Structure 1
Amino acid sequence: MTNDAPPRIGDLLRIAAADAVPVVGGTDDASLDAPTPCAEYDVRALLNHLFNVVVNFQVLAAKGTPDFSETPDRLSGADWRELFGTETGKLVEAWSAPGADEGTSGAMGLPARTVGAMVLLDLTVHAWDLARATGRTFEPDPVVVAELAGEVERMAPMGREIKVFGEAVELPGSATAFERLLATTGRDPRAR
């Protein structure tokens, strides 16, 4: 008997967190005002956005109602890098709980697995944004990229409509799976 079930969101988030947390932790204070591939965010704003996502998607894993009404500045304390690691660990735990990726996410009214894929995408793509903004490279685990590829294609029309994705970027046939994923979100992985 084979198990053809897709990987659990909690397992995928654990893999993604292992790649993303060091990128956040390695961000120097001197680069906080640097621009990012997300035109609306500098590095500081991107980090605060990512913190907000990580904290609120813990609530969504438990089918609760998150509060996205404001984005607090979590970078004011000296230990913000450690705090990000802690909160990301809580995110992984929340999505690893039995039933977290089943049914419907109450507040968003979407399949819980789709909501889990949203935070997986943010953790992955924003880690790339952060690495790019600070002169580093980032290559997520292929398992995460493979799981996100179909989700991103499904999310793209809605993502463009609500302005969280830009228009898709054309890439050559030699593009990697991760480059194609970035391009679908409106990022140009080959631009410098």
Structure 2
Amino acid sequence: MTFHEHLAAGAAEAARITSGVTAGQLGDPTPCPEYDTRALANHLVAYTGIGMELRARREPHPDDLATRDFTTDPQWAAGYAAQLDRSVAAWADPAVWEGEINGMAAEAIAGLLYLELVLHAWDLARATGQEYRLDDAAAAALLGMVREQAEMYRQYKGFAEPVEVPAGASDLDLALALSGRDPRWTA
């Protein structure tokens, strides 16, 4: 699989997870202590929906993107799914993967977006009692990215300290644990 295919798989799962979030769950806790479910959903929409397309197009984020409450729209999850389709399509252009975006290699930006997309969709799934599904190849790609970026993310408080997992844990569980998430977390 190409990395774009992993990005598309992560987007499809994020869309599926957000479609299962109910209005009554928006105040619930998540594995990210700084976010309740509403804040986490808004973060996903802003950075992995809209932000992913803006990055591909080399366009700046609107100043208010991080503070919008997308969940006030009853159709926010459907809007996010449609935005993810546009974002994945924007990254389908081979030219997008060339050069730099905001001073970083485009491939590196895509990797960071993938981390945000998969890890926070997993967080949202856990917070709302849903099963998160990622195929083995996409999980292996995630683990590789987490291993590559873990120390930088920890320096900037994006990841907590690693969590122990039993021997033989899946690549997804290893990636979660290395990012400071407890794969067994429940609300």
TM over 0.5: yes
* Deviation at residue 190 of structure 1 after TM alignment: 2.0
TM-score (norm 2): 0.92
- Report how many aligned residue pairs link the two structures: 184
Worse-matched range after superposition: 41-50 or 53-62: 53-62
- Any residues of structure 2 matched to 1:1-192 within 5 Å, and which? 7-9=2-4, 11-53=5-47, 54-67=49-62, 70-105=66-101, 107=102, 109-192=103-186
Amino acid at match of 1:160: R
Q: Residue 142 of structure 2 contacts residue 172 of structure 2 at CA under 8 Å; is this kept in 1?
A: no
- In the alignment, residue 16 of structure 2 is paired with which amino acid? P
Structure 1 contact 14–92 (Cα < 8 Å) conserved: yes
- Unaligned stretches of 5+ residues in structure 1: 1-5
How far residue 68 of structure 1 moved from its aligned partner, in angstroms, is 6.1
When structure 1 is superposed on structure 2, of 115-124 and 176-185 the one drifting more is 115-124
- Ranges of 4+ aligned residues in structure 1 off by more than 6 Å: none
Say which structure, 1 or 2, has more relative contact order (CA 8 Å, 6+ apart).
2
Write the distance in 2 (CA, Å) between the matches of 1:145 and 1:83.
26
Name the structure with the higher helix share. 2
2 CA distance for matches of 1:99 and 1:144? 22
Q: Unmatched 5+ residue regions in structure 2?
A: none
Instruction: Calculate percent identity across the aligned residue pairs.
Output: 35
Residue 30 of structure 1 aligns to a residue whose secondary structure is helix
Partners of 1:97 and 1:21 in 2: how far apart? Answer: 21
